[in-house]
């Protein structure tokens, strides 16, 4: 399959439809090493990837649910169950972490975009290896207590939870932006 065809076929697979097997250790290494090949102004490497396998994802999910319950003792069973299952929906969850160098000549926005490219490369790489994947965020991506559960430093932020596994069925496609509505030529 050509790269253009791979891009044309890219779609998110619902994480609950990502089943075993997930990437084996060699595939996981290839996936992450390839995903790290992104534009990186200043060679800052403002990103890293944290792997969470399903069994550890259950432990992390329980800790998130406990955090939710401390903050909101009235949390519904559905809310708690959602938190419990955030990291065990697929055989593997890859947490993309942006590592910001504030005050550097390379703006934080460019550092964030480099990390975002890592997340997108994980989606494309998973597809190229024959897996399905989905990029999810949710409240744990924006919460410092959740960041602490992940072991993140003050300058680190989770920007993507990329779930990877074998796709159980076809991923639904959605309407995509059209060239005519998104592209214009600049004229002086």
Which pLDDT belongs to residue 140? 96
Which pLDDT belongs to residue 104? 86
Question: How many helices and strands in the chain, by DSSP H and E?
Answer: 7, 5
Q: Is the pLDDT of residue 22 over 90?
A: yes
Q: Among the CATH numbers 3.40.109.10, 1.10.275.10, 3.40.50.10310, 3.40.50.300, which is that of 13-53+89-168? A: 3.40.109.10
Give the tens place of pLDDT for each residue, 61-117. 999 999 999 999 999 999 999 999 999 999 999 999 999 988 889 999 999 999 999
Give the tens place of pLDDT for each residue, 115-173. 999 999 999 999 999 999 999 999 999 999 999 999 999 999 999 999 999 999 888 88
Whether the CA torsion 164, 95, 33, 110 is positive or negative: it is positive
Q: Which two tokens stand for residue 48?
A: 């890293």
Which pLDDT belongs to residue 185? 96
**Contact in structure between 172 and 11 (CB atoms under 8 Å):** yes
Which pLDDT belongs to residue 14? 86
Q: What global pTM score does this model have?
A: 0.94
Q: Which two tokens stand for residue 177?
A: 């932006």
């Amino acid at each position: 399959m050509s790269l253009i065809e791979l891009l044309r076929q890219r779609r998110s697979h619902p994480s609950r439809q990502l089943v075993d097997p997930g990437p084996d250790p060699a595939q996981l290494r290839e996936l992450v090493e390839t995903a790290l090949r992104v534009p990186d102004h200043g060679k800052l490497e403002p990103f890293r990837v944290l792997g969470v396998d399903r069994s550890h994802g259950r432990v992390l999910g329980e800790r998130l649910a406990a955090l939710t319950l401390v903050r909101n003792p009235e949390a519904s069973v559905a809310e708690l169950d959602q938190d419990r299952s955030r990291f065990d929906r697929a055989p593997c969850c890859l947490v993309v972490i942006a590592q910001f160098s504030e005050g550097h000549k390379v703006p934080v926005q460019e550092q964030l975009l480099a990390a975002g490219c890592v997340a997108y490369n994980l989606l494309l790489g998973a597809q190229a290896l024959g897996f399905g994947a989905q990029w999810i965020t949710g409240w744990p991506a924006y919460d410092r207590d959740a960041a602490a559960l992940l072991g993140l430093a003050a300058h680190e932020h989770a920007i993507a939870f990329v779930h990877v596994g074998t796709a159980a069925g076809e991923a639904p496609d959605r309407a995509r932006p059209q060239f005519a509505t998104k592209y214009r030529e600049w004229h002086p």
